[in-house]
Chains A and B, each alone.
Chain A
């Protein structure tokens, strides 16, 4: 070993030791020595009230700097451009040191061992009680191919939402519990004008990302999209037929779901507060907090419920975001320190309150904040039915893309909107999905 290498090695050991000490002190809440003063770049998407969110992140950065001496350069990424920014980062484009990330499976496959999310296996012991502190499903979303990538900090658990005032007007009590109830409620809440045109649709499937609205119905019918190893597509099953037939009937037999629900200009999330959609079977996580803040005039007029039970289950769609580090960063220890700081229960609580997102940390969800209204309690109950939306293949996000040409979208469009022969459509979709999945694993 040359003298230069020795010196570099010695400096590395010194840096690692001081980082480890600083990390331990940070975890214990003790201010770290100022010697590690450095800067890290951190990106996070925007949530809830954008100004309040930015203020919260700035406060965190200030507190962290006072504690560790490390300056956090925070950059807020709009969700409208987030996907393209991350796709670029995963291919070697501009990237921060650490960030609020998502779609781990796809981005880690795209980045390989050069770019994108960085495994943090050697730092996993920083969180010794991870399994006890966090919900199991959220931890699935930060592990991929045997590697640990970060700390989940937000969840997107999707309950059913419906207009309580309209349901009561229609003489309905409580919330729909089963798929049959969904039809009953939707028919009763549907509204028409004098010409027989629909003025209020009885129901919508899910958020504006239309393919995500189909997923819980498929699970509730007992389906699984693929085998556990992510190698084999498993959609040519009875569950697919049951789910697609049910939704097709909602459109054409019961006429309670807008036949345009798969088109770009359709927005159930916009129609619900406007009163032109009475119920959404799987409402995106931020919808309830947003309604309670942005539509005070609707207070008491809507309610959440656990998704209705299908023939085989009551699964709720759940996604999550995590705090992770990017490959290529020279400040890994500092980033882990920052993530460790943010993942303290009190800070996870503040993150959850500021963003309006449910927390994957049990302690936060057991707090007074998440139990002070009926709808928050329902979200807590729905978490018991949460089914992770991530699947063990990098092509998953392409398969589920809400755009024409994607396997699930095309299958839904042909089977539901165009009412083509169900068996043919499903067989085609199975073949296409398998071909896409082979793409990721082929030699």
Chain B
């Protein structure tokens, strides 16, 4: 009976394992393998793909553009994780509360989730285009600005920040926020109501409820969410590529865009794979740190 059960379970997960293997792991490790070869499409017929060790990694790590793309990747991902979690907590409360029109608010909050990132990027690229932006028109009509804001092209910077970086980050948050909200809402709904009633009895206010009940009980979920957002954020590609292509002047360039351009614009699959390898390494390190901390917490409890 036990054996039958195990076979049944295995059969159930087999399609998922196969898909992960074929579409995820095999391409990932093939690409990782390429990062140690010379894999230059324009030389491959004459020179083949000789082993070059860490040469590709040395090349990209001495390229200022790649170093800047690493910094941008971390900055944008950090902003996305922090802002999405804070906003997610607020909006999850809004979705949970009971009031008239709650359904409409819930639908509005979830709407960005229905828009694929590629489409979202194209729509926002139009909305934020300096010369055609309806946002600029509205602000100008309201007398709030005198000249167009160059949301995606202004290359002025304040430290590591710039308007294009913040604009693209905002679109990434907008597109990913419903996922965070739904996750947190599910977590909040699993918190027993009597815990909140206990705070009421103790004379606590909303903030006390949040600080002493909601936040501690949501901590594991927040950890998982932060982890997922970090991993997907570091490998994020489409919104940055479609909205700005990494510009202006590299201000929104991220590692995945660098990798894509090396492969498909400059025919250097080896350098692209090395950049992909760096993404894998970073996300791998984050995953290991997270899993170890989880295991430590489990041991403690």
Which residues of A does B touch, CB under 8 Å? 83-84, 87, 90-91, 106, 109-114, 195, 197, 258, 260, 262-266, 271, 274, 276, 394-395, 398, 401, 403-406, 413, 417-418, 439-440, 442
Contact = CB atoms under 8 A, between A and B. Distances in A.
A197 B267 contact: no
A260 B150 contact: yes
Contacts of A258: 131
Given A195-B146, A398-B266, A404 B42 contact: no
A158 B128 CA distance: 30
Interface string B40-82: 1111111000000000000000000100000000000000000
Contact of B147 (A109, A195, A276, A404): A195
Contacts of A398: 42, 265-267
Contact of A110 (B129, B130, B267): B267
B30 to A, nearest CB: 13
B243 A265 contact: yes
Given A260-B150, A276-B131, A404-B247, A84 B264 contact: yes
B297 interface: no
Contacts of A262: 247-248
Contacts, number: 96
A404 B153 contact: no
Interface string B123-151: 00100111110000000000000111010
B130 A260 contact: yes
A112 B44 contact: yes
10 contacts: A106-B267, A110-B44, A112-B46, A264-B247, A394-B42, A395-B42, A404-B247, A405-B258, A405-B265, A413-B249
A404 B130 contact: no
Contacts of A112: 44-46
Given A195-B147, A264-B243, A395-B42, 19 more contacts: A84-B264, A113-B45, A260-B153, A263-B152, A263-B244, A265-B125, A265-B128, A265-B152, A266-B153, A271-B131, A274-B132, A398-B267, A401-B265, A403-B265, A404-B246, A405-B65, A405-B266, A440-B43, A442-B43
Contact of B130 (A109, A265, A417): A265
A417 B265 CA distance: 22
A439 B43 contact: yes
B245 interface: yes
Range of interface residues on chain B?
Answer: 35 or more
B94 interface: no
**A106, A111, A264, A442: most-surrounded residue (chain B CB, <10 A):** A264
Contacts of A413: 249
Interface in B250-301: 250, 253, 258, 261-262, 264-267
Interface in B28-46: 40-46
B265 A406 contact: yes
B45 A91 contact: no
Given A195-B146, A439-B42, A264 B265 contact: no
Interface in B200-255: 242-250, 253
A62 B244 CA distance: 44
Contact of B266 (A84, A113, A401): A401
